[in-house]
Structure 1
Amino acid sequence: MARWQLAWSLARRFRGRRQRSRFLSFITVSSTFGIALGCMVFIAGLSVMNGFSNVLETRFLQLIPHVEFRAVEGALKYPETIYAAAEQHPLVTQARPVIRTQALVQQGREFVGVEVTGIDPTRGHNVADLTSATAWQQLVQPNTILLGAGLAQKLKLGAGDSMTLVVAAEQGFQAPKRLQVTVAGVFTFGGQVDHQMAYVNLDTARTMTGLTEGVSIIELSVADVFAAEQVANEIGYQIKDFVYLEHWMRTQGHLYRDIQMVRVVMYLALILVLAVACFNIVSTLMMTVQEKQRHIGVLRTMGLRTAEVVKVFVLQGIQNGLWGVLFGCLAGVVVSLNLPHVFSWIEQWSGESLLSSDVYFIDRIPVLLQWRDVLIVATVALLMSLLATLYPAWKASRVEVVKAISA
């Protein structure tokens, strides 16, 4: 233990400003600053990526079904087998009957396309969290509809107003169906969903599509969204119907893959930026070895072993990395926690929103700090700092004592 304390003390002494030239001090400070800056930036960047990933899981998947079994034609013939399999599966939290169709909304002479989803309000649905309780209760009534906020605004409709839905015939060249419905309420989710989607109850959806009974789709919600494909396959093998099997990773998974790809790129950039910063540690230690050759020679004559010389310079380089990691991680945590306020200030200063709610399903850049990322960044920075010390420390151990003292 005393040997390590001696090596640590010598490393601190060699690193002291009074023992170095101004240029060497500048290189040392720049290496520490580079590591700190890299840690801060990447902790903040990863926090933003975590925020987008969390919003995708907790908000976007509110309206996107995790797993979906859709009849090839008409209604499902054996929906009870799907319900039974879903009830027995440990990861399934809810199974919902659904009928989905396309329609045109006629308001005067204007027609607007809309995706109409028929649901059972008594079974509960995530859209219930996006609208008022009164509107949700009104949806139980026949010929009522919930509109997205953007669609309602475009058509200048509100609760209690009437509108006409035009639905194409499923088969043949029959005239399209027209159905008069009453707006039960408006839901707000964000993005294009508010401009494209509407909800009715199952009876109204059957009237629109011509189904006499049953449903055409059964949606499942799962406890682990990343197990959606596994759940879909396991339940799909148990059902008797011919169905189209869908899960969110297939239909909307590109969003998650894009987030993960950016995360991987950031990790690669982290390694490269820290590698550049650690080159300054190599330069600092190599210059210290040249400057302290006489000191090394004297210490060797006093009994300092070769391995202990290596320890001295390894610890000196680690000190640079340690201070950089410490300040960088602290700054990264502070910046991440205050990023929402920073983004709000930027929006107020510029007068423009960084994320438009008309395009995206969120209107603010999300931030989620995870201590795992802080630990990963700190560990990578320390390992890079350690690797940067090995060659200079080896060169210091190869200094010839006689030449060093006589120099």
Structure 2
Amino acid sequence: MLGQWRLAWQLARRFRRGRERSRFLSFISASSTSGIALGCMVFITGLSVMNGFSEVLQERFLKLVPHVEFNAVEGRLDYPETIFALATDHPEVTDAWPLIHTQALVQQGRDFVGVQVTGLDPEREHAIKDYLKEQQWSALTQPNTVILGSGLAQKLGVARGDSIRFVVAAERGFQAPKRMQLTVIDTFEFGGQFDHQLAYVNLATARDFVGLDSGFSTVALAVDDLFSAERVANEIGYQLRDYVYLEHWMRSQGHLYRDIQMVRMVMYLVLILVLAVASFNIVSTLVMTVQEKQRHIGILRTMGLRTSSLMQVFVLQGLQNGVFGVFAGVLAGVLLSLNLPLLLNALERLSGSTLLASDVYFVNQIPVLLDWRDVLVVAAVGLLMSLLATLYPAWQAARIDVVQAINA
């Protein structure tokens, strides 16, 4: 059996490299190899970018976005201790902390900029602390202080130590809006929309914003499995005595994750289609080779070469194009994925513009994460499509009449 495959391999190499082979046939063969290589390279790179976006979303973005939130319908939570007790007892909840959310306008001269203000307890650890420029987290305990996103601070033209005026609408009736003067103690740079939207204050300052004398309006939870957030929110929320809005990240930010997964699925479908089109060239190459090598096929059959061995010859000949194309495409795709951030940074410097505007997208640069499982899947699909493309020409070669082939 091994000798049979060795003979088939030698004949396949001879047919592929034969001197009498036409230039057009060589061109078609090279096109099939190049098409498979290009397809593998593009899709390994594309899937690596999708992996990068997914990692940034799960590992960075969702550190600043609470996984689950219980927001009071009106005013403050009357029984927050119940939420903390249920969260402590729930096996999938890793942390719980109080918050106050509100919307405000920042007045700078005659201009107003909308800001999402979050009041939190500075005595607790928070993920935003890792992105502060001057690490002035402890100063947030002082009254009437604020931490701004770097993009927001730049838009307002303020820096650390400057004062800015916040305007907050009255909670009830037609009262005049409340105006508060806050001091900027630090700015954070996350890289994305948050830098242009968020401002952090302590709970006491946030109470002044919303008109609470004590307590807070929101309890946020972190869960160990991001995709169980909705279930955890329902399990705890249905046991509460307060009237609350149940919020979780899949509702507020889930469209980002769904978009990434949808693009990934579309890329897999396109991968199959592109490689199938590239494999058609293998079919064309082998069909033309069978017509060109009829006399050789007839001679080999009269010398005792069996039909199965003849089919193996053309299967191996076609697989050579696939193997070479997959190898070159995988190698190029891996190298391009590993160096893509450097190439994109160089492109941004040369063009003077950014590919992802930080005030529009949740990240300000294209992330890349190479997953070797994707590499294996792309390589396997390429080899499978190449193998399938060889079956019809090999079957056609096996059906050639020996006498007619010799006399051709």
TM range (shorter): over 0.9
- Does 2:17 match 1:16? yes
Aligned AA for 1:267? Answer: Y
Using a 3 Å threshold, how does the CA distance of structure 1 residues 298 and 35 change in structure 2: closer, same or farther?
Answer: same
Aligned to 1:138: 139
Show the 5 A alignment for 1:262-277. 262-277=263-278
Aligned to 1:319: 320
Using a 3 Å threshold, how does the CA distance of structure 1 residues 320 and 113 change in structure 2: closer, same or farther?
Answer: closer
Aligned to 2:37: 36
Show the 5 A alignment for 1:314-393. 314-393=315-394
Shift of 1:225: 2.3
| Range 42-51 or range 157-166, more displaced | 157-166
Shift of 1:392: 0.7
Shift of 1:281: 0.5
| Range 100-109 or range 2-11, more displaced | 100-109
Does the Cα contact within 8 Å between 1:17 and 1:25 map onto a contact in 2? no
Using a 3 Å threshold, how does the CA distance of structure 1 residues 151 and 24 change in structure 2: closer, same or farther?
Answer: closer
Shift of 1:244: 1.0
Does the Cα contact within 8 Å between 1:35 and 1:278 map onto a contact in 2? yes
Does the Cα contact within 8 Å between 1:189 and 1:361 map onto a contact in 2? no
Supply the distance in 2 between the matched residues of 1:106 and 1:351 (Cα, whole angstroms): 31
Supply the distance in 1 between the matched residues of 2:304 and 2:248 (Cα, whole angstroms): 70
Unmatched runs of 5 consecutive residues or more in structure 2: none
Q: Deviations over 1:205-233 (max 9, x none)?
A: 12222223322111122233233223323
Does the Cα contact within 8 Å between 2:149 and 2:197 map onto a contact in 1? yes
Aligned AA for 1:31? Answer: S
Aligned to 1:294: 295
Supply the distance in 1 between the matched residues of 2:381 and 2:320 (Cα, whole angstroms): 15
Does the Cα contact within 8 Å between 1:97 and 1:120 map onto a contact in 2? yes
| Range 103-112 or range 196-205, more displaced | 103-112
Supply the distance in 2 between the matched residues of 1:132 and 1:28 (Cα, whole angstroms): 57
Does the Cα contact within 8 Å between 2:147 and 2:201 map onto a contact in 1? yes
The 3-state SS of whatever aligns with 1:121 is coil
TM-score, normalised via structure 1 length: 0.93
Q: CA RMSD in A?
A: 2.0
Aligned to 1:212: 213
TM-score, normalised via structure 2 length: 0.93
| Range 304-313 or range 155-164, more displaced | 155-164
Supply the distance in 1 between the matched residues of 2:20 and 2:375 (Cα, whole angstroms): 33
Using a 3 Å threshold, how does the CA distance of structure 1 residues 9 and 235 change in structure 2: closer, same or farther?
Answer: farther
Supply the distance in 1 between the matched residues of 2:391 and 2:54 (Cα, whole angstroms): 38
Aligned AA for 2:6? Answer: Q
Q: Deviations over 1:220-259 (max 9, x none)?
A: 2223323322332333333332211111121122222222
Does the Cα contact within 8 Å between 2:129 and 2:135 map onto a contact in 1? no
| Range 380-389 or range 128-137, more displaced | 128-137
Supply the distance in 2 between the matched residues of 1:149 and 1:138 (Cα, whole angstroms): 18
Does the Cα contact within 8 Å between 2:47 and 2:264 map onto a contact in 1? yes
The 3-state SS of whatever aligns with 2:65 is coil
Supply the distance in 1 between the matched residues of 2:351 and 2:133 (Cα, whole angstroms): 34
Supply the distance in 2 between the matched residues of 1:188 and 1:278 (Cα, whole angstroms): 48
The 3-state SS of whatever aligns with 1:122 is coil
Supply the distance in 2 between the matched residues of 1:22 and 1:216 (Cα, whole angstroms): 76
Aligned AA for 2:314? Answer: F
The 3-state SS of whatever aligns with 1:218 is strand
The 3-state SS of whatever aligns with 2:205 is helix
Does the Cα contact within 8 Å between 1:294 and 1:404 map onto a contact in 2? yes
Supply the distance in 1 between the matched residues of 2:94 and 2:133 (Cα, whole angstroms): 24
Using a 3 Å threshold, how does the CA distance of structure 1 residues 27 and 178 change in structure 2: closer, same or farther?
Answer: closer
Using a 3 Å threshold, how does the CA distance of structure 1 residues 17 and 335 change in structure 2: closer, same or farther?
Answer: farther
Does the Cα contact within 8 Å between 2:334 and 2:370 map onto a contact in 1? yes
Supply the distance in 1 between the matched residues of 2:392 and 2:111 (Cα, whole angstroms): 75
Shift of 1:132: 4.6
Using a 3 Å threshold, how does the CA distance of structure 1 residues 8 and 358 change in structure 2: closer, same or farther?
Answer: same
Aligned to 1:170: 171
Aligned to 1:157: 158
Aligned to 2:246: 245
Q: Which runs of 4+ in 1 moved over 4 A?
A: 107-110
| Range 123-132 or range 389-398, more displaced | 123-132
Aligned to 1:284: 285
Shift of 1:155: 3.2
Q: Deviations over 1:329-355 (max 9, x none)?
A: 111111111212221222222222222
The 3-state SS of whatever aligns with 1:229 is helix
Q: Deviations over 1:252-291 (max 9, x none)?
A: 2222222222222222221221111111100111111112
Aligned to 1:185: 186
Aligned to 2:67: 66
Does the Cα contact within 8 Å between 1:190 and 1:358 map onto a contact in 2? no
Supply the distance in 2 between the matched residues of 1:342 and 1:404 (Cα, whole angstroms): 55
Shift of 1:19: 5.4
Supply the distance in 2 between the matched residues of 1:189 and 1:34 (Cα, whole angstroms): 40
